[in-house]
Amino acid sequence: MSSENNPLLQDWQTPYGLPPFDQILPEHFSPAFATAILLHLDELNTLAAQTSLPDFANTVESFANAGLLLARIQGVFENLTASETSPALEAIELTLAPQLAAHRNAVYQQDGVFIRLDALYQQRRDLGLNTEKMRLLERIHLDFVRNGAKLSGEPRLRFAAIVAELATLCTQFAQNVRSDEAEYRLVLNHENDLAGLPDSIKSSAKQAAADRGVDGYVITLSRSSVVPFLTYSSRRDLREVAHKAWKARGENAGNADNRPIAPRILALRLEQSQLLGYANFADYALSDRMAGTPQAALDLLQKVWTPALKRVLEEQADLQTLAAELGEPLDIQPWDWFYLAEQQRLARFDLDDAEIKPYFALENMIAAAFDCAHRLFGLSFKERFDVPLYHPDARLWEVSRQGAVIGLFIGDNFSRTSKQGGAWMHEFRSQSRSEGQRIVPIVINNNNFSKAPAGQATLLSFDDVRTLFHEFGHGLHGLLSDVEYRQLAGPAVARDYVELPSQLYENWAEQDEVLKKHALHIETGAAIPDALLAKIKNARFFNQGFETVRYLGSALLDLQIHLDLSSDVNDISAFEAATLKKIGLPKAVGINHRLPHFGHIFASDGYAAGYYVYMWAEVLEADAFDAFIESGNPFDPATAERLYQHIYSVGNSVDPAQSYLAFRGHTADVGPLLGKRGLN
């Protein structure tokens, strides 16, 4: 296929250089990647072959500016395979994974480039570089070292082979989970199958059935479908079926079985880290995070585990009392907890999600998130309807600040079979500057809310609202980025720092003045009443032991399996059961992510030995929002300006610990987090 016929290889004559989604076909990707990889290698070979002495411009900046075509194509491909995949794209993804891994390996083991970079790194203090240029040099040099640039001979060849095999295995792991989620459906055909379900859940289930060509109602394994079903269905037998299917993703015999894949990933990661001189993968991964060491992360988790476990055991005793009153079995199972907890909440706080949801229409909550961004950072949003996107559910906004467009935001909020589960932020293009001009980022938020039938508003739970704000916090991190180099832009920061802007933004979803303005009843238009707001606040600590322990169980399991020095943890399900028993996790509680479908840690290495990062960032976030509380105004302009200057705009151009200190004036401790969760 010639470049003239391949839109991925052409200049995009679209608004702001958006991908021409309506022209891109699966068959365009393989030849486009092949061309872009060759171009990138040629750029690096030219850099390495220079006869002039290395300096920042001819070496560091040249490296930073190489591979732009490849980055552009990869941005499109990664987003489509996550948001709107197909059998054709999945086949290409499996084929390309080792090829792209091999190319990345070739980049970071290009000796000529590394020799020049290393020479500059050794004399970096004498180069007169500003903070961002120094940061770029240090980060690129570290990337080379962490990717085996100092290896030689057989260890270097082995490292390359490991990288390629891991790329294939992680891709297969993610596809297997997506396959299990897409294929499963719990069909509810009879009226008594719907017992206990509010109208909003029945409407979503009706739409899910229609989307799949099924009569009746369908519960899927999307969290926004299965958790509400577990919460409200009074049919214990059906709750058990749904819960077991939800927790068995990736653990079913057949082509989508992840049980043989995960141990191989673990063994390869251990070998890879030992080639680089680390005892285990956890030591390797955390050496480039704020925590620094696995022990520091474990210490934090243990500080929260003890009070959280105490609380969840109290909650379990309360639920057993309630179960006795309701005539339910006293031996509470994981498929009982959501249901009994909802009954408890209704009895204790007179608070029912069915009462809350009519005030939380998706459209109004999008407006609320945008409004908060306007009040904090001066952003305005203009929706565009004239640009083709990759799916009808995706929507596009121009984002402006001080009269200029600073970025494009794509919101894709609904679950579908062609989309992976969960919620995430990604970028089609990162922010940077070129010849003094700001290159605007193209940011996307993906959620998996259950879509209401045509003509009806999609209603969110309050947890859904937090998720919407959380992902938009990530989005703002990308949109507000204002750095020179794309390698340092927005969310390109340490994993245990990247969750700070997102988790912090959740706080504004809970502010009375935001909810009174935007939480409007879908039928009457009336603002959410003070009495209902009071109920929500009174219940904010309810079930927090359960939520915290489920998260901590997964985080401790992740760290433990990457600290294990054996290379043959062959039975991950047995390892999981033994570890959870050892830490004392109650059987009725369960964990957020079981190992066979734990995409955070097995679909890539991004969060591997790093699921703890959400709590690490929550320590920072709880302390950070206290700055607004201390000001007496959740939208205090001076505090918001510091937040913009030191957190949202600087990306990785400054060390994150220094960034946080510049914003807050002190380091954070665990106290505010425990208070926020009601565990103190």
Q: Which residue bears the tokens 């596009």?
A: 396
Q: Tell which residue, 678, 588, 677, 547, has the closest CA to residue 320.
A: 588
Confidence of residue 1 (pLDDT cuts 50, 70, 90): low
DSSP SS3 for 40? helix
Query: Which tokens go with 29?
Result: 């990707």
DSSP strand pairing (186-188 vs 442-449) = unpaired
91 φ/ψ sector (left φ>0, alpha ψ -120 to 50, else beta): alpha
- How far apart CA 397 and CA 416 sit, in angstroms, is 22
- Res 203: pLDDT: 93
The stretch 123-145 carries a mean pLDDT of 97
The H-or-E segment that residue 492 falls in is none
**Domain 358-516 falls in which CATH fold?**
Neurolysin; domain 3 (1.10.1370)
- How far apart CA 589 and CA 574 sit, in angstroms, is 18
User: Each residue of 34-85: pLDDT tens digit?
Assistant: 999 999 999 999 999 999 999 999 999 999 999 999 999 999 999 999 999 9
DSSP strand pairing (395-401 vs 442-449) = unpaired
Of 43, 84, 471, 621, the catalytic one is: 471
Residue 578's φ and ψ, nearest 5 degrees, are -65, -40
User: Is 314 known to be catalytic?
Assistant: no
- Three-class secondary structure assignment of 610-659: CCCHHHHHHHHHHHHHHHHHHHCCCCCHHHHHHHHHHHHCCCCCCCHHHH
Domain parsing of the chain, residue ranges = 3-108+110-146, 184-248, 285-349+542-676, 358-516
Query: Which tokens go with 426?
Result: 């990604």
Confidence of residue 256 (pLDDT cuts 50, 70, 90): very high
- Three-class secondary structure assignment of 301-329: HHHHHHHHHHHHHHHHHHHHHHHHHHCCC
The H-or-E segment that residue 590 falls in is none
Instruction: Report the chain's mean pLDDT, rounded to a whole number.
Output: 95
User: Each residue of 189-219: pLDDT tens digit?
Assistant: 999 999 999 998 999 999 999 999 999 999 9
User: Each residue of 389-402: pLDDT tens digit?
Assistant: 999 999 999 999 99
The stretch 231-246 carries a mean pLDDT of 97
User: Each residue of 557-610: pLDDT tens digit?
Assistant: 999 999 977 656 889 999 999 999 999 999 999 999 999 999 999 999 999 999
User: Each residue of 364-389: pLDDT tens digit?
Assistant: 999 999 999 999 999 999 999 999 99
CATH homologous superfamily for the domain 285-349+542-676: Neurolysin, domain 3 (1.10.1370.10)
- How far apart CA 449 and CA 446 sit, in angstroms, is 9
Radius of gyration for the alpha carbons in the chain, expressed in angstroms and rounded: 25
* pTM attached to this predicted model: 0.93
